[in-house]
Amino acid sequence: MPSLASDRQREQPEASSRGARGWPRAADHTLARTAALNQLLLAAVVSVLAFLKFGTGFTGDAALFFSGVLLVVALTAVAIVVPWARVPLWWTALIPLGDIIGIGLMRLADATAGTALLWTFPVLWLASSFALAGFVGGVGLSVVLYAVTLTLVPHESLSFGTLLLPVVLTAIGATSYSSARRAAAQRRLLRRQAEILAQALERSRHQEQMLSEVFDTVDFEVVRIERGVLTTVTSDAHAHLNQLMPDRDGVGPVVYQADGTTPLPPEEQPLARALRGEEFSDLRVWFEPVPGERRALSITVRRLPGAAGNDDAGAVMVSRDVTAEMRALQARDMLVSSVSHELRTPLTSIIGHIELAMDEPGLPAAAASSLEIADRNADRLLTLVGDVLKASSTSDGAALPMHPRDVDVLEIVKASAQSFVTGESSRNVTIDLSRALPARGFVDPLRLRQVVDNLVSNAIKYNREGGRVSVVTATRGRKTLILVEDTGVGLDEDDLANIFQRYYRGAAVRRTDVEGSGLGLSISRDIVRRLGGDIYVNSTLGVGSTFTVSVPSVRPGADVEPSVNRSNAQEAGVK
């Protein structure tokens, strides 16, 4: 049967597929196998036909018929012997063209033998292997020889069956030609796709190599987590993460929290949380790879979306050695704490002596005014020293004393607001308590008052002259919410990302005339988290900010009244 192998040969590059005379040349042995198989199939059919004709009594010109058979057999021998891979491609067309002549001789010898159907073999071969020229040449030569035999055999009359053979040969050749073209187009498409895939693979390998080189030069490590298993470490410097993993017996190193003293339970360690599907940022832990040597890591885990966008395809864990940074922070906090302790005693003495001097009778007005200024600034300095001490104490793990109990949060908020309304620092700012509804909380009242005082103080200090501060209280489920909204300078995106860091003061805040230490919000968040809640902030630069404090409304394990809490929150306008 005809094959498309020769068409594939024509698609080889010109430099390697053309011979010395410019004809296309086969590049492998496919063409030789194709020619031999096609010719052997035709030779077998011709041999069976000849055997049947001579076995049943041949009535035509035996010599002429035998000549046609010998021609087909000879061409078969040539197709088998000739090394077609070394000769021009078009030379193989001589084989089917010779077959057409041989079949014409057999039909001329006996028109009743049905040998005209054998022309389908060379027509299929030529049309599929030699494109349009093969189709036209094969069908044209077959039809011409068919017409010659009709002319030379006078007793054969024209009929519908006589005209049907040229139509069938044309249809078969056209079908074979179009099929060959489609197959060639598909091969070209597949080849282009293969080239695109090869280029994509090469780019992927290049990017992988580049990423590997980049990861090997940086001081952090990246690990891919897939289906709860560590699958790929993309950095050569992954010793730290390996040291965090348990050994074969399931025993892992001792891991501590950021304070460096509180052991971290195995189920709360970074790898365990990441394998459970959690996501977190800048989680800092200490661990001891060897006794007496501690290292600090900052670990971030981000989940990866799946192909559908909502599936979990695993996660990426990034770790960074922050030992030097953590030790520097500890040293700074120790220094600040030490200096603050040393400053507090003389400041207390200074304030006491200033108050005694102000109580002296007959004190001149100018001196009294100067002493008041000194007393006010000394108080401010003592407050600053107290904030620094609180910040340094929470940073090294020394917990602020907490005594939570069931309290009236609304009364704490009212007391705080009243102290600022009557104080000198009100700056004509209106404090609105219209949405402050009754709310209970299981908190330390002194610590919660400290948080509310700090938030309201900031809302007033960084507000516009004559601005507004709204304080909202409401209970929602097991949480009580305290919202402090202001119409002040607001915060930008950078400020929102760093507002709770110690000593941080935002750009918009620094542009004001208000001085501050940048410790209040950090201390407030530490207190609220110790109480079992958290602080959130929403802000628009130049419009204002809203700080939301969430604390437990009831003792852990106690029952709540969902309907009352829900209506309370809805009445306050808290979502």
pLDDT of residue 18: 40
What are the tokens at 525? 């968040």
pLDDT of residue 390: 64
Question: What Rg do the C-alpha atoms of the chain give, in angstroms?
Answer: 47
Non-local CB neighbours of 490 within 8 Å, separated by 6+ positions: 508, 539, 540, 541, 542, 543, 544, 545
Non-local CB neighbours of 471 within 8 Å, separated by 6+ positions: 413, 417, 431, 432, 433, 435, 436, 452, 456, 482, 483, 484, 485
Mean pLDDT, the chain cut into blocks of 10 residues (575 residues total):
40 38 45 79 86 74 86 88 80 88 87 83 87 87 87 68 83 88 90 92 88 72 71 53 53 76 83 83 81 82 73 79 80 68 73 82 83 77 68 52 89 88 68 92 90 90 88 92 92 83 69 66 87 91 92 82 54 60
- In the sheet that holds 479-486, the strands lie side by side as 430-432, 468-476, 479-486, 544-552, 534-540
Instruction: Write down the residue that tokens 């950078």 correspond to.
Output: 494
Strand spans (E) along 362-425: 405-408
Q: Say if residue 276 is exposed, middle or buried (CB neighbours under 10 Å; 0-12, 13-18, 19+).
A: exposed
| Four-residue CA torsion sign, 495, 498, 500, 502 | negative
Q: Give the pLDDT confidence of 188-235 residue by residue, as tens digits.
A: 999 999 999 999 999 989 888 887 777 667 667 777 777 656 555 555
pLDDT of residue 412: 93
pLDDT of residue 243: 58
DSSP letters spanning 160-220:
HHHHHHHHHHHHHHHHHHHHHHHHHHHHHHHHHHHHHHHHHHHHHHHHHHHHHHHHHHSSE
pLDDT of residue 245: 55
Q: Give the pLDDT confidence of 39-94 residue by residue, as tens digits.
A: 888 888 888 888 887 777 667 788 888 888 899 889 888 888 888 777 787 788 88
pLDDT of residue 128: 84
pLDDT of residue 1: 41
* Rounded CA separation 446/26 (Å): 94
What are the tokens at 564? 């009352």
pLDDT of residue 23: 36
| Domains in the chain, CATH or no CATH each | 5-194 (no CATH), 218-321 (3.30.450.20), 327-395 (1.10.287.130), 405-572 (3.30.565.10)
* CB atoms near residue 364 (< 10 Å): 8
pLDDT of residue 17: 40
* Rounded CA separation 575/566 (Å): 10
Count of all residues that appear for the chain in the document: 575
pLDDT of residue 256: 85
What are the tokens at 373? 């200024």
